[in-house]
Amino acid sequence: MTYDPKNPHYDPYTAPPVYDNQPVTGGGYPDGGYPDSPQQQGGYDQYAYQQQPPGPAYNAAGYSPPPMQMYQAPENGSGTAALVLGILGLVGCGLCAIPAVICGHMGMKKADQGLADNRGQAQAGLIMGYIGVAFLVLALLYVVFMLVMFGALASSSTTSY
């Protein structure tokens, strides 16, 4: 039934009207239930205990999916340490860049020998460590240059009263 704006007493939750004056019944089955139901056969279901034929095997087409591999944590602590120290060396603590270079070289050596499986982390830590060392050297050169400039200015200025 659709909404009728002319009929303000429309209630969508009521049952639809019956037009043929016939009572609504519960179903079209005879009083005994479904035909050939287990109740009519004395309560025994002849299909319940029948043995089912086996279905096709899982690998019937010859396809075997690759085995599922679980993630393994890296076995190289030096590579992970190089990565963490390299990030810290870039972010602002330039002194962490020197140990990042050392741990990066150790981690790459272990990965080359087959003792570790995270060569990429060691290599990334090594690269970030070298960049951090370069920033550290540039910062030290800037500080030395500024000290020399202020020293030269201080010695050349004469104070006369």
Neighbour tally for 30: CB within 10 Å: 8
Report for 23-37, 51-65, 69-83, 115-129: range of highest mean pLDDT = 115-129
In-domain check, residue 81: yes
Q: Is residue 106 part of a domain?
A: yes
Residue 92's region, left for phi above 0, alpha for psi from -120 to 50, else beta, is left
User: In the structure encoding, which two tokens stand for residue 157, read together?
Assistant: 């200025």
Residue 83 lies in a domain: yes
Which residues constitute the domain of residue 116? Answer: 77-155
- 86 domain residue, yes or no: yes
Give me the chain's average pLDDT, please.
Answer: 75
Is residue 47 a part of any domain in this protein?
no
Q: Is residue 18 part of a domain?
A: no
d(CA 37, CA 45): 8
- pLDDT for residue 122: 93
Q: Report if residue 72 sits inside a domain.
A: no
Domains in the chain, number: 1
Contact 103, 95 (CB under 8 A): no
Highest mean pLDDT among 53-57, 66-70, 147-151: 147-151
Say what the pLDDT of residue 41 is: 52
pLDDT for the residue numbered 161: 58
Q: Kindly state whether residue 37 falls inside one of the protein's structural domains.
A: no
pLDDT at 4: 64
User: Residue 132, exposed/middle/buried by CB under 10 A (0-12, 13-18, 19+)?
Assistant: buried
